[in-house]
């Protein structure tokens, strides 16, 4: 095979290997960025879920404050909590839109919140206002808060108290957060594994480039010197000397080079010998 062909084959092989390493590095880096993004995404989701839980606590606290005092100013946390819950719910639903089980949990929490507002939150606030106006006896609210009917009778089977509904909301949100924490742990482990893969690939790529590139350079240098038989400057000086009529000029060959008859130095010496006859 000609030297030019050999050089082309080596260059093509080297470029193909580097291209493969580059593609794999790109995919690994992209995977690392994507995984890091998912870890950040999960942190955001958990943060929003905690805001939902806080909003429910604020609503409950504000409502309880009003029930104890009858003062409207105590309803501020209740009103703000409702607004915060609704806004946060929209945001977190958008964040987990690609996870149907989590969407269902949020929808259940939303339904329970509406159920609490209707059967406990607004209902008990309105009952307190009626008591303040003297339209209802104080015992009515006391009975309701203790899970009974206003007249003190037990609630029908299946009817939940405000506290029971609120506890169920907390359980739903806790389950939601628990799953997100599990996903975050999984994604964090994937992030570590991808990072290790990227590091190993970078080391392998560097070693490959050093050893293969260096080996290819040494091999091609030897092939080139074997075909030349001497340093290019020596060949040039020899050619100029013969051209100027100095036919006694010779190139001193190494023993390893003189064995081969197929190199430029041997050919030039043979040409000078022929011209000198």
Instruction: Write out pLDDT tens, residues 98-114.
Output: 999 999 999 999 999 99
> Is 84 a domain residue?
yes
Is 233 found in the same domain as 109? Answer: no
Supply the mean pLDDT for the chain: 81
Is 165 found in the same domain as 72? Answer: yes
> 28-35 — which CB contacts under 8 Å span 24+ positions?
28/194, 28/197, 28/198, 28/201, 29/198, 31/194, 32/191, 32/194, 32/195, 32/198, 35/187, 35/190, 35/191, 35/194
Is 245 found in the same domain as 164? Answer: no
Q: Which tokens sit at 110?
A: 């939303």
Last residue of a domain, one of 172, 194, 216: 194
Of 213, 255, 257, residue with least CA distance to 231: 257
Is 126 found in the same domain as 82? Answer: yes
- Please report which confidence band the pLDDT of residue 242 belongs to, taking 50, 70 and 90 as the band edges: confident
Q: What percent of the chain has pLDDT over 70?
A: 91
pLDDT recorded at residue 258: 47
Of 164, 192, 163, residue with least CA distance to 31: 192
Please tell me the total count of domains within the chain.
Answer: 2
CB 108 within 8 A of CB 172: yes
Residue entry with tokens 């309701």: 144
- Please report which confidence band the pLDDT of residue 277 belongs to, taking 50, 70 and 90 as the band edges: low
Is 132 found in the same domain as 239? Answer: no
Last residue of a domain, one of 145, 170, 194: 194
Q: Which tokens sit at 160?
A: 């939940």
Residue 19, pLDDT above cutoff 70: yes
Of 182, 190, 191, 171, residue with least CA distance to 45: 182
Residue 251, pLDDT above cutoff 70: yes
Separation of alpha carbons 247 and 144, rounded Å: 124
> Is 1 a domain residue?
no
pLDDT recorded at residue 17: 74
Is 20 found in the same domain as 120? Answer: yes
Separation of alpha carbons 209 and 130, rounded Å: 84
> Is 40 a domain residue?
yes
Q: How does pLDDT run across 79-98, given as a tens digit for each residue?
A: 999 999 999 999 999 999 99
Q: How does pLDDT run across 188-212, given as a tens digit for each residue?
A: 787 777 777 777 777 877 787 777 7
Is 269 found in the same domain as 145? Answer: no
Residue 68, pLDDT above cutoff 90: no
Is 124 found in the same domain as 247? Answer: no
Residue 140, pLDDT above cutoff 60: yes
Residue 45, pLDDT above cutoff 80: yes
On whether the pTM is more than 0.75, the answer is no
> Is 4 a domain residue?
no
Q: Which domain holds residue 53?
A: 11-194
């Amino acid at each position: 095979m000609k030297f030019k062909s050999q050089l082309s084959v080596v260059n093509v092989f080297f470029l193909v290997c580097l291209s493969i390493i580059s593609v794999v590095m790109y995919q690994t880096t992209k995977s690392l960025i994507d995984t890091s993004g998912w870890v950040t995404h999960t942190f955001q989701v958990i943060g929003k879920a905690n805001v939902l839980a806080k909003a429910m606590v604020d609503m409950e606290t504000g409502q309880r404050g009003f029930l104890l005092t009858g003062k409207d100013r105590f309803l501020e946390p209740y009103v703000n909590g409702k607004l915060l819950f609704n806004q946060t719910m929209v945001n977190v639903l958008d964040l987990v839109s690609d996870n149907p089980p989590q969407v269902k949990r949020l929808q259940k929490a939303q339904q329970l919140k509406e159920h609490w507002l209707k059967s406990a939150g607004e209902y008990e606030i309105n009952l307190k206002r009626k008591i303040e106006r003297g339209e209802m006896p104080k015992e009515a609210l006391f009975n309701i808060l203790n899970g009974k009917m206003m007249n003190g009778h037990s609630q029908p089977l299946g009817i939940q108290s405000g506290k029971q509904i609120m506890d169920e909301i907390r359980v739903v949100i806790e389950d939601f957060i628990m799953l997100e924490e599990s996903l975050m742990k999984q994604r964090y482990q994937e992030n570590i594994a991808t990072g290790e893969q990227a590091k190993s690939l970078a080391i392998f790529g560097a070693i490959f480039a050093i050893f293969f590139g260096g080996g290819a350079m040494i091999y091609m240098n030897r092939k080139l010197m074997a075909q030349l038989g001497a340093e290019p400057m020596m060949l040039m000086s020899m050619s100029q000397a013969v051209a100027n009529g100095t036919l006694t000029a010779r190139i001193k060959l190494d023993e390893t080079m003189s064995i081969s008859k197929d190199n430029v130095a041997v050919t030039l010496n043979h040409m000078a010998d022929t011209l000198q006859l």
